[in-house]
Amino acid sequence: MKIGYTIFLTGLLAACNSSSSPIASTDSAYKTVVPNTPLIDAEKYVGTLPCADCEGIDVSLQLNRDSSYALNLEYKGNGDDSTNNSFKETGAWSIHGNDTLYLTASKGSVTKYFKSDTALMQLDGDGNRITGPLADNYILHKR
């Protein structure tokens, strides 16, 4: 009986200490959990992204320590009505692997970035680096 009880307790302790696989969900009630994720203090990134029908999109991204973010977008030179050229988005951020930042907007859309020590490089919809002559225009610099 003692041996059975010892095996049971050992199994229970092992289950409590085992690392679980990351949880990924588009449901805003869940956050992606990645073991050994580097902590990010409050960080701000800025830049101007290309725009098909305007002069550019000024971007200001605030990453908060609580895994929330605030994104401000201002479309420059877009149309006659300049009052509708600014947009705000909020949501949650998470790190996948060592260097991929996911921004999950409150409405569910996901934007991915490659994160370095000094900048964020926007990735395409499949999570690949943007290449070509405009690739350097998809970088937000840490402020």
The 10s digit of each residue's pLDDT in 82-139 is 567 899 999 999 999 999 999 999 999 999 999 999 999 999 999 999 999 999 999 9
Tell me if the pTM is above 0.85. Answer: no
List pLDDT tens digits, range 25-69: 333 333 344 444 455 678 999 999 999 888 999 999 999 999 999
Both structure tokens of 125: 């919809």
Confidence (pLDDT) at 43: 94
**3-state DSSP of the chain:** CHHHHHHHHHHHHHHHHCCCCCCCCCCCCCCCCCCCCCCCCCEEEEEEECCCCCCEEEEEEEECCCCEEEEEEEEECCCCCHHHCEEEEEEEEEEECCCEEEEEECCCCEEEEEECCCEEEEECCCCCECCCCCHHHHEEEEC
For residue 82, the model assigns a pLDDT of: 56
Domains detected in the chain? 40-142 (2.40.128.640)
